[in-house]
């Protein structure tokens, strides 16, 4: 029998479980582009009420959710206050410039976390020649920050600034359920600290496709139009929404296992020669390794790991990322750590 590939490249590698597929086959569907898909509508209601938001929009990807939020809040020439490793800046092909004609104004951040004072220091008072600060952007958990959770108290002070200056605060919560499970801070508490947020179904929650964008009715009304002109006006999407409803019911609490497995992986790899952990702790499901102390590049190590049936993702020449998720068991983590030690030996 061929060996199963241990895919720790990303939590997007998850595949729907048999029970999720079963829920998908039973979904009632309609034309979502006309708001007539009952399963999508049930998902929108469920997601919005969980986070205490008025309403929601179901979109194909986290990237589309982010870009729609940016488009709704900005005019060309505006600025987004954000940390320099946020997903829309690093990994969305410059779409904020392409679609909305905006630029980023960067704060000093530690693993994606920044303070009110930092945001204030880059905020621009309206003047004739300055761009307008149009969004305060928070990523929670933070991907490039090794799954860091944005501390609620810091977020509250950013929220106070957003209200004081009248600048909307958006949370890219692609992995907010990891933050919820690891911190014990409820969806509603996170929801209270922002105008809008999005979360992905297709990462740790284990669905094949989909993200939710949540916010006030007027915001979502505009967002719906953007989704349409970006070509996201899908039809019988209830099949995908059924997976989302199933995941919100069955796949949230189990994220704690992924966090446990990620910490175990970090412990098991702590003493691998030449490999250094980029971050001192593992708050959720992401581990970054600096491999510059080995005599191999990250792509070379990744190649050797693939031969041993393990996938990690490569971030540049000397950095590797390992992510735990529903398809990675405790034994897989043990095997992956062993494979890494062998690969760099
Ligand atoms: C923090 C964050 N935001 C947004 C996205 C984009 O999600 P998608 O791949 O569904 O476009 C990702 C994907 O990894 C992410 O990590």
In a domain, 122, yes or no: yes
Mean pLDDT of 271-279: 96
In a domain, 8, yes or no: no
Separation of CA 289 and ligand 1 centre (Å): 20
Mean pLDDT of 113-131: 93
| Residue 3 confidence (pLDDT) above 80 | no
178-220 pLDDT, tens digit per residue, is 999 999 999 999 999 999 999 999 999 999 999 999 999 999 9
Q: Return the CATH number at 237.
A: 3.40.640.10
Quick one: pLDDT band at residue 1, thresholds 50, 70, 90? very low
Mean pLDDT of 222-244: 97
Mean pLDDT of 109-113: 98
Query: By residue range, what is the domain housing residue 132?
Result: 18-250
Let me know whether 109 and 233 are in one domain. Answer: yes
In a domain, 13, yes or no: no
In a domain, 9, yes or no: no
Let me know whether 228 and 157 are in one domain. Answer: yes
Quick one: pLDDT band at residue 2, thresholds 50, 70, 90? low
Any atom of ligand 1 within 6 Å of the Cβ of 258:
no
- Candidate of 11, 62, 109, 198 to mutate for ligand 1, largest count of ligand atoms within 8 Å of Cβ: 62
Quick one: pLDDT band at residue 300, thresholds 50, 70, 90? very high
Q: Return the CATH number at 280.
A: 3.90.1150.10
- Candidate of 9, 14, 87, 325 to mutate for ligand 1, largest count of ligand atoms within 8 Å of Cβ: 87
Any atom of ligand 1 within 6 Å of the Cβ of 294:
no
63 CA closest ligand 1 atom index: 11
The secondary structure of 126-195 as a DSSP string is --TTSPPEEEEEEESSBTTTTSBPPPHHHHHHHHHHHHHHT--EEEE-TTHHHHHHHH---HHHHHHT-S
Let me know whether 214 and 306 are in one domain. Answer: no
Domains in the chain, number: 2
Q: What is the mean pLDDT of the chain?
A: 97
Any atom of ligand 1 within 6 Å of the Cβ of 139:
yes
Let me know whether 307 and 241 are in one domain. Answer: no
Distance CA 239, CA 264 (A): 35
Instruction: State which of 230, 250, 270 marks the end of a domain.
Output: 250
Any atom of ligand 1 within 6 Å of the Cβ of 143:
yes
Let me know whether 234 and 328 are in one domain. Answer: no
Let me know whether 138 and 217 are in one domain. Answer: yes
Let me know whether 131 and 202 are in one domain. Answer: yes
Please tell me the predicted confidence (pLDDT) of residue 243.
Answer: 98
Distance CA 310, CA 312 (A): 7
| Residue 15 confidence (pLDDT) above 90 | yes
């Amino acid at each position: 029998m061929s060996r199963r590939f241990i895919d720790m490249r990303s939590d997007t590698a998850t595949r729907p479980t048999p029970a999720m597929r079963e829920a998908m086959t039973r979904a009632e569907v309609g034309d979502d582009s006309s708001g007539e898909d009952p399963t999508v509508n049930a998902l929108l209601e469920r997601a919005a009420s969980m986070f205490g938001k008025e309403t929601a929009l179901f979109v194909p990807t986290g990237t589309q959710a982010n870009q729609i939020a940016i488009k709704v809040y900005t005019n060309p020439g505006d600025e987004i206050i954000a940390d320099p490793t946020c997903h829309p800046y690093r990994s969305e092909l410059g779409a904020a410039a392409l679609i909305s004609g905006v630029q980023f104004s960067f704060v000093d951040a530690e693993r994606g976390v920044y303070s009110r004072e930092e945001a204030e220091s880059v905020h621009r008072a309206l003047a004739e020649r300055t761009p307008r600060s149009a969004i305060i952007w928070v990523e929670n958990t933070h991907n490039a920050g090794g799954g860091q959770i944005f501390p609620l108290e810091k977020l509250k002070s950013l929220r106070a600034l957003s209200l004081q200056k009248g600048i909307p605060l958006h949370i890219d919560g692609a992995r907010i359920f990891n933050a919820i499970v690891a911190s014990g801070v409820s969806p509603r508490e996170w929801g209270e600290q922002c105008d809008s947020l999005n979360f992905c179904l297709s990462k740790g929650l284990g669905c094949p496709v989909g993200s939710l964008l949540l916010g006030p009715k007027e915001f979502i009304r505009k967002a719906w139009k953007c989704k349409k002109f970006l070509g996201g006006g899908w039809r019988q999407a209830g099949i995908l929404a059924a997976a989302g409803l199933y995941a919100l019911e069955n796949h949230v609490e189990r994220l704690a296992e992924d966090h446990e497995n990620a910490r175990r992986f970090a412990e098991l790899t702590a003493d691998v020669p030449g490999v250094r952990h980029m971050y001192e702790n593992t708050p959720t499901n992401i581990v970054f390794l600096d491999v510059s102390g080995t005599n191999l590049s990250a792509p070379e190590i990744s190649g050797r790991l693939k031969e041993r049936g393990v996938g990690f993702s490569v971030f540049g020449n000397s950095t590797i990322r390992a992510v735990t998720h529903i398809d990675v068991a405790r034994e897989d983590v043990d095997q992956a750590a062993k494979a890494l030690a062998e690969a760099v030996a």
